[in-house]
Amino acid sequence: MSRPFLKMNGLGNDFVVVEARALPFEPTADQVRNIARREGGIGCDQLISISPGQADIPLVRFWNADGEEVGACGNGSRCVAWLLMQDAGIDQVVFDTQGGRLFARSAGEYLVSVDMGPPRLSWDQIPLAEPMDTRGIELQVGPIDAPLLHTPGCVSMGNPHVVFFVPDIDTAPVREVGPLIEHHLLFPEGVNVGFAEIRARDHIRLRVWERGAGLTKACGTGACAALVAAARRGLTDRKATLELDGGDLVIDWRASDDHVIMTGPVAIEFEGQLP
């Protein structure tokens, strides 16, 4: 039987969202890839399902366009939070993911704040293949004596991120370096690769090569990771605007409880039926 879906996006990072609380949804990797295909499919960066969880708290699951299920998606979490709040007529909501329990609230019309929890910062939480100081790991791209990129920071926001700091985002080799680092042996589960230009203590320009999805217009967990990585090195304050290709997110790494709060917009594109 066919199943309804919503096509949504957060800053151009787009999703197919499936309601699965009444009818189980267990797509195969091939089915995920077919849905995500831009040519011949519906087209999306991630597939998302809202399933029944424990104690009436929904379980939200995420699959990348390559068919792999992943633990977290920041922009997708905002979209799901908005849907759940609209459905129940409330202005705050809680739901579970593989990356942990998330809390969200309305921050205005089509604007949502999600508490992404504390960042994971130890090498085995990222995870890395060997112990390193995640403020700046031993990794470089290019000649040993004159590397193009070096000493990136690492953060897990329920999924692994590495963040290179670059002087000019417009000349950063995102498409060339992103897929190489995504599958580097240092990252046994793969990694999302961020390229961050610090423009002010409260302004970061960011592009992200997403694990399993490629270059996207925005990455919510990538924005959280970039702010944390920059603040740990004293490059920015703990709150900043992250300027992505698809628009802006405000990220606040609260000193009071160590949680990362992500605020940004959501949009509905269309609805349809999965074949």
In a domain, 123, yes or no: no
Distance CA 92, CA 112 (A): 9
pLDDT in tens, 156-192: 999 999 999 999 999 999 999 999 999 999 999 999 9
Asked if residue 97 is part of any domain, the answer here is yes
Token duo for residue 107: 């921050």
Which domain, by its residues, includes 244? 140-258
- In this structure, the answer to whether residues 99 and 149 fall within a common structural domain is no
Are both 232 and 249 inside the same structural domain?
Answer: yes
Confidence of residue 144 (pLDDT cuts 50, 70, 90): confident
Q: Is the domain of 251 the same as that of 161?
A: yes
- Give catalytic residue positions: 73, 219
- Cα separation, 71 vs 203, in Å, equals 27
Q: What is the pLDDT of residues 17-50, one digit of tens each?
A: 999 998 899 999 999 999 999 998 999 999 999 9
Domain count for the chain:
2
User: What DSSP assignment string belongs to 32-92?
Assistant: HHHHH-TTTS---SEEEEEE--STT--EEEEEETTS-EES--HHHHHHHHHHHHHHHT-SE
Q: What CATH number did the domain enclosing 150 receive?
A: 3.10.310.10
Identify which of 143, 186, 198 has the alpha carbon closest to the alpha carbon of residue 162. Answer: 186
- This prediction has a pTM of 0.93
Residues 239 and 269 in one domain: no
Q: What are phi and psi of 150, to 5 degrees?
A: -160, 160
The fraction of the chain above a pLDDT of 70, given in percent, is 100
pLDDT of 1 > 70? The answer is no
Residue 133 lies in a domain: no
Q: What is the pLDDT of residues 238-272, one digit of tens each?
A: 999 999 999 999 999 999 999 999 999 999 999 99
